[in-house]
């Protein structure tokens, strides 16, 4: 695919040790934790685990091996992480130990810290329908990981998505889909990371002859390896050689070979995925309405008809061995039980076949018990004349309520992925390609599919349209609305050499843009990938819920069985009077209804939904507010933040240093002084050097004849401008400045340390001037020529306008702000005082900010780091929560847990506040999920019946079970109403 594709989201940066970096955030990533050089660490795929007891068994089996130092088992990931001494235990011993414990095991490839995939593998994304709980996820993951050629597989219940890394030479996407479907689930391919595959929608085929013509033409194209045309969906999948054939050229060849009859368009994978979600919701709604339509007459005959003599007499009329009402109940409920409810039997058998129990098992147990008991009661009555009460309505209504819950859950899944859908909608569908001949002359324009854009293309962007891809403006000027990325409402001016982002809106003039990034490399695609990966992640708090859910089903089945035995033997032994029994009922029937109610009401589905639904909604809400969250783990840590460490330059300040003062302390002319300093700094990449060079250039332009100035402007004011002097023996000294020789003179530009090391004396009046600059939050740069100070330049980096208010807001939230900088101490203290930070720490190279962070972490405090530069990456990785300013470097963003896309410090407050709100909602979800069971299970088991005569019929128990899931989902969806805190409210400011 050349369009939006899956990209691995990098985890912690390499700037810190593995111990500091922790676990990578990539969905299919490996661990980076440090372990001893004489120990080995492997990952083992373990299938057959269904609950926490299973994972505990595997851990115990592994730890019992001599030589195993550490063993950790992840239930939902079906994986064991084992650290061991290879001199004492072998890989095969570990595999055998797991298999001896009753599970299947497979040694996975060695963990790697590399961010690249193993050679020859691709990552494919699949939608998986029919999953109802964590046991289903375990089943699918186990099936996928056992397929030949599959290296890794991760499945998410909340999004109904699976990502599979596989070797395309050993297995293809169709084989993966078939394996999932053979296990009883629904599956379809969404997209792949392969660059040599294309999925196209085809219009214009009206007959079999047209299809054969298409296939015949494809056979003649050089570079086409494989193709498949699906006549039902009218989709054409092509596997081609990208070295011989480009995707756009391929589309052009197909259309031209059909003489214009066929029209092709690239299938957007996210659009296909959205239609799949709608199809699932529609299908669930049809099943629910059909079940409701058939169940209402059953309830009507049971509850209403006995009060309508005419209708009741018709139902009591005998027709063969049974009454008319019995025939109707049997017929209607049979359709509900085995036609509409077929999916529950399929799912339950699948779970049992894989050695697990889930919600479907409970539903099948409860409904089957009611149905088959009722059938047996009818047959027994026909043979003996003793007619026991039937409970067909319990079976029908239970299935109806479960389908209602599933329908509402499917709607919730669609709503929680709204953030991704909105981001996808930002991408334009088409683009205008400027066509040039070999000489570079424009020969025309054509409209192409935006997913067929290639790097290097020149695109025309007319006013009012979206920029099709990331690139550089090569002609024209205009204002562009970039609010979707930066959050700034004011349009940004774009001129020649300005960069533009795909999906932003061109407002006024026409632009010619040369494409630099397409597909998964674009900013928009990377944002989508971050959000999608975060929504598939799992917060650590979910482990507790998984443990409870894993043991809940067997416990509940046991509890139901004990309820049946307890009530039955209590009745037989005279523990309660026969008057309690229903008419024509017996002790077994009376006990069975209690047991069925217990089994039905105790479904743990709501527990499994409590965390992932909240995390999904939170990541979507964060994206809409300019805060990209890399997963549930980041959310859980951020809500506990106690200290926030700020970098100064580019974080608290605007990062745009400007020269405010240039004072000469010698007989040198001001222009000569600036030329000398600019020449010395022209080879440096430091921000202060660029500020000095820009200031000197500006002075130079206004001090030369206009003809020369215009020529230099048109020459883009390059560093090799004629006004700069020749420099020799240049060297940049980190943390000090630069030194070089100009015209035989030794030039030093930097701080006091540089001067001291070169034995340059700083006169008192110069020192006093520098101190004044530093106390006014400016950086003083000393300039020396031949060991004599000849001048000082004062450089200021203005504070961000919101910095002081954000610092005060964090204090109100109970968070302590700290500033860490390698800048001059007086300047740092002045900046800190201006924004209201009382704790300022000096950055000591080489470990710098990371050491400061570790000092705060010693007492167990959770520390967040806010930074933007490459030098901040180790600190972002070392911090418990790294927050990268969106306008910062790619490396900083890669190392962070949060990305503040709008480069606005107010989003720090939003990130922490959203994390706290999310986990408050998760805790509330657990209360909702548990309340139904804690309150209703004793009632369903009949604990209060002897005193209050309260019973919970099975169909009412089904309603309560469905309502528990609905309540949790709706509770999570309330997070969509989240609004970022207003600083005026947070600071208790009254606006007149």
Q: Write out pLDDT tens, residues 576-598.
A: 787 888 776 678 878 888 887 88
Contacts of 111 (CB under 8 A, 6+ apart): 30, 31, 41, 42, 43
Domain co-membership, 204 together with 299: no
In a domain, 759, yes or no: yes
Quote the pLDDT of residue 782: 93
What would the pLDDT profile of 261-277 be if each residue is shown by its tens digit?
888 877 765 555 555 56
Quote the pLDDT of residue 1: 32
In a domain, 992, yes or no: no
Quote the pLDDT of residue 400: 85
- Mean pLDDT over 903-931 rounds to 86
- Mean pLDDT over 200-211 rounds to 83
Least confident of 452-456, 903-907, 953-957: 953-957
Highest mean pLDDT, choosing among 85-89, 265-269, 395-399, 736-740: 736-740
In a domain, 369, yes or no: yes
Domain co-membership, 732 together with 812: no
Q: If we measure between CA atoms, which residue out of 980, 983, 988 comes closest to residue 910? A: 980
With a cut of 90, say whether residue 142 has pLDDT above it: no
Least confident of 326-330, 862-866, 898-902: 898-902
In a domain, 715, yes or no: no
Quote the pLDDT of residue 866: 86
pLDDT, averaged across the chain? 76
pLDDT band at 41 (very low <50, low <70, confident <90, very high): confident
- Which of 190, 225, 247 is the endpoint of a domain? 190
Q: Which residues are known to be catalytic?
A: 647
pLDDT band at 538 (very low <50, low <70, confident <90, very high): low
Domain co-membership, 620 together with 529: yes
Q: If we measure between CA atoms, which residue out of 852, 887, 847 comes closest to residue 867? A: 887
What would the pLDDT profile of 798-849 be if each residue is shown by its tens digit?
888 888 888 888 988 889 999 887 767 787 888 888 888 888 877 655 456 7
Answer with the residue of higher pLDDT: 290 or 627.
290
- Which of 777, 796, 815 is the endpoint of a domain? 796
Highest mean pLDDT, choosing among 51-55, 98-102, 812-816: 812-816
Quote the pLDDT of residue 176: 87
The domain containing residue 817 runs over which residues?
A: 625-654+799-914
Give percent of the chain with pLDDT exceeding 90. 5
Contacts of 946 (CB under 8 A, 6+ apart): 576
CA dihedral (162, 415, 641, 9) in degrees, to 10, reads 30
CATH (domain of 759): 3.40.1110.10
Supply 214's token pair: 């298409």
What would the pLDDT profile of 342-359 be if each residue is shown by its tens digit?
888 887 776 676 666 666
d(C-alpha 499, C-alpha 64), whole Å:
59
In a domain, 927, yes or no: yes
Answer with the residue of higher pLDDT: 758 or 630.
758
pLDDT band at 75 (very low <50, low <70, confident <90, very high): low
Q: DSSP assignment of 42-92, as one string? A: EEEEEES--SHHHHHHHHHHHHTSTTEEEEEEETTTTEEEEEE-TTT--HH
Highest mean pLDDT, choosing among 249-253, 403-407, 647-651, 894-898: 249-253
Domain co-membership, 635 together with 741: no
With a cut of 70, say whether residue 948 has pLDDT above it: yes
Residue 577 burial (C-beta neighbours within 10 Å; 0-12, 13-18, 19+): exposed
Q: DSSP assignment of 487-500, as one string? A: ---SPEEE-TT-EE
- Mean pLDDT over 690-703 rounds to 76
Q: At what angle do helices 803-812 and 906-940 cross, to 10 degrees?
A: 30
In a domain, 435, yes or no: no
Quote the pLDDT of residue 11: 34
Quote the pLDDT of residue 23: 29
d(C-alpha 453, C-alpha 466), whole Å:
14
Domain co-membership, 595 together with 635: no
What would the pLDDT profile of 189-201 be if each residue is shown by its tens digit?
766 655 567 778 8
- Which of 781, 796, 811 is the endpoint of a domain? 796
In a domain, 104, yes or no: yes
- Would you say the pTM of this structure is higher than 0.75? no
In a domain, 705, yes or no: no
With a cut of 90, say whether residue 919 has pLDDT above it: no
CA distances from 737 to 189, 431, 732, 758, 766 (A): 56, 48, 6, 12, 18
CATH (domain of 223): 3.30.70.100
Domain co-membership, 618 together with 508: no
Domain co-membership, 402 together with 319: yes
Q: DSSP assignment of 173-215, as one string? A: HHHHHHHHHHTT-EEEEEEES-SSEEEEEEE---SHHHHHHHH
Domain co-membership, 905 together with 930: no
- Tell the residue number behind the tokens 């078939």, with chain if given: 178
Domain co-membership, 403 together with 480: no
Q: What are the start-end ranges of the E strands in 206-328?
A: 224-230, 235-240, 263-266, 318-319, 322-323
d(C-alpha 412, C-alpha 245), whole Å:
42
Q: Please give the tally of structural domains in the chain.
A: 8
Domain co-membership, 324 together with 418: yes
Domain co-membership, 328 together with 419: yes
With a cut of 90, say whether residue 870 has pLDDT above it: no
Domain co-membership, 310 together with 401: yes
Q: At what angle do helices 309-316 and 324-335 cross, to 10 degrees?
A: 80
Least confident of 250-264, 604-618, 966-980: 604-618
CATH (domain of 847): 3.40.50.1000
d(C-alpha 382, C-alpha 380), whole Å:
5
């Amino acid at each position: 695919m050349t369009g939006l594709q899956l990209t691995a989201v990098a985890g912690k940066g390499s700037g810190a040790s593995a111990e500091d970096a922790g676990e990578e955030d990539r969905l299919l990533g490996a661990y980076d934790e440090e372990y001893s050089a004489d120990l080995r660490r492997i990952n083992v795929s373990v299938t057959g685990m269904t609950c926490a007891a299973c994972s505990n068994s595997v851990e115990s089996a592994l730890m019992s091996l001599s030589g195993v130092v550490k063993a950790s088992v992840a239930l939902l990931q079906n994986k064991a992480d084992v650290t061991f001494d290879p001199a004492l235990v072998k890989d095969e011993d570990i595999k055998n130990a797991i298999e001896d414990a009753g599970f299947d095991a497979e040694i996975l490839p060695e963990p790697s810290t590399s961010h690249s995939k193993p050679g020859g593998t691709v990552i494919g994304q699949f939608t998986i329908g029919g999953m109802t709980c964590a046991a289903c996820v375990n089943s699918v993951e186990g099936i996928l990981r056992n397929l030949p050629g599959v290296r890794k597989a991760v499945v998410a219940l909340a999004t109904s998505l699976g990502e599979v890394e596989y070797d395309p030479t050993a297995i293809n996407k169709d084989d993966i889909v078939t394996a999932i479907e053979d296990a009883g689930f629904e599956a379809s391919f969404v997209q792949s990371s392969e660059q040599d595959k294309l999925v196209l929608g085809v219009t214009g085929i009206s007959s079999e002859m047209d299809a054969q013509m298409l296939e015949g033409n494809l056979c003649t194209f050089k570079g086409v390896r494989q193709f498949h045309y699906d006549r039902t969906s009218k989709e054409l999948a092509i596997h081609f050689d990208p070295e011989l054939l480009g995707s756009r050229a391929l589309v052009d060849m197909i259309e031209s070979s059909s003489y214009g009859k066929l029209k092709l368009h690239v299938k957007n994978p996210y659009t296909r995925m959205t239609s799949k979600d709608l199809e699932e919701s529609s299908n669930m709604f049809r099943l629910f309405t059909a079940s409701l339509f058939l169940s209402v007459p059953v309830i009507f005959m049971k509850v209403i008809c006995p009060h309508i003599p005419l209708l009741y007499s018709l139902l009591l009329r005998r027709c063969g061995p049974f009454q008319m009402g019995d025939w109707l109940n049997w017929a209607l409920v049979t359709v509900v039980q085995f036609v509409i409810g077929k999916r529950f039997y399929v799912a339950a058998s699948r779970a049992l076949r894989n050695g697990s129990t889930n919600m479907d098992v409970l539903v099948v147990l409860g409904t089957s018990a009611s149905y088959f008991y009722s059938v047996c009661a009818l047959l027994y009555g026909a043979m003996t004349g003793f007619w026991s009460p039937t409970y067909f309505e319990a079976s029908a209504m239970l299935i109806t309520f479960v389908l209602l819950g599933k329908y509402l859950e499917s709607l919730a899944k669609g709503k929680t992925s709204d953030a991704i859908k909105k981001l996808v909608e930002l991408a334009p569908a088409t683009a205008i390609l400027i066509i040039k001949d070999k000489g570079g002359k424009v020969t025309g324009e054509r409209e192409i599919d935006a997913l067929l854009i290639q790097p290097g293309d020149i695109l025309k962007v007319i006013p009012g349209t979206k920029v099709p891809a990331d690139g550089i403006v090569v002609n024209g000027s205009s204002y562009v609305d970039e609010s979707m990325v930066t959050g700034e409402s004011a349009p940004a001016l774009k001129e020649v050499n300005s960069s533009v982002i795909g999906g932003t809106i061109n407002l006024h003039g026409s632009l010619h843009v040369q494409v630099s990034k397409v597909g998964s490399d674009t900013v928009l695609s990377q944002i989508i990938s971050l959000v999608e990966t975060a929504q598939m992640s799992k917060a650590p708090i979910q482990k507790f819920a998984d443990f409870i859910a894993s043991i809940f089903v067997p416990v509940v089945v046991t509890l139901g069985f004990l309820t049946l035995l307890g009530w039955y033997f209590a009745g037989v032994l005279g523990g309660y009077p026969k008057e309690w029994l229903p008419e024509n009922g017996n002790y077994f029937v009376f006990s069975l209804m209690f047991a069925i109610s217990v089994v039905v009401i105790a479904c743990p589905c709501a527990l499994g939904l409590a965390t992932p639904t909240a995390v999904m909604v939170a990541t979507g809400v964060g994206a809409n507010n300019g805060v990209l969250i890399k997963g549930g783990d980041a959310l859980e840590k951020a809500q506990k933040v106690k200290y926030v460490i700020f970098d100064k330059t580019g974080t608290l300040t605007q990062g745009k240093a400007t020269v405010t003062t240039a004072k000469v302390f010698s007989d040198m002319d001001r222009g000569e002084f600036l030329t000398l300093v600019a020449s010395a700094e022209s080879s440096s990449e430091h921000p202060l050097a660029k500020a000095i060079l820009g200031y000197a250039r500006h002075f130079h332009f206004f001090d030369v004849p206009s003809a020369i100035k215009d020529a230099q402007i048109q020459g883009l004011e390059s560093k090799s401008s004629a006004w700069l002097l020749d420099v020799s023996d240049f060297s940049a000294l980190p943390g000090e400045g630069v030194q070089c020789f100009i015209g035989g003179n030794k030039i030093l530009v930097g701080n006091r340390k540089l001067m001291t090391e070169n034995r340059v004396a700083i006169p008192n009046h110069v020192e006093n001037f520098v101190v004044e600059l530093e106390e006014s939050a400016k950086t003083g740069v000393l300039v020396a020529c031949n060991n004599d100070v000849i001048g000082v330049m004062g450089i200021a980096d203005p504070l961000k306008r919101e910095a002081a208010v954000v610092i005060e807001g964090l204090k109100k939230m109970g968070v302590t702000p700290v500033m860490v900088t390698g800048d001059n101490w007086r300047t740092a203290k002045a900046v800190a005082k201006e924004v209201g930070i009382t704790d300022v720490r000096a950055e000591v190279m080489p470990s710098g900010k990371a050491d400061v962070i570790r000092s705060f972490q010693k007492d167990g405090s959770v520390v967040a780091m806010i930074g933007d530069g490459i030098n901040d990456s180790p600190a972002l990785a070392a911090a418990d929560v790294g927050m990268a300013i969106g306008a910062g470097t790619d490396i900083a963003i890669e190392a962070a847990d949060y990305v503040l896309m709008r480069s606005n410090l107010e989003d720090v407050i939003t990130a922490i506040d959203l994390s706290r709100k999310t986990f408050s909602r998760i805790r509330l979800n657990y209360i909702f999920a548990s309340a139904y069971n804690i309150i209703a299970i004793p009632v369903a088991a009949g604990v209060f019946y002897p005193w209050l005569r309260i019973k919970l019929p099975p169909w009412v128990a089904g309603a309560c079970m469905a309502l528990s899931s609905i309540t949790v989902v709706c509770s999570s969806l309330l997070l969509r109403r989240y609004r970022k805190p207003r600083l005026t409210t947070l600071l208790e400011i009254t606006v007149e």
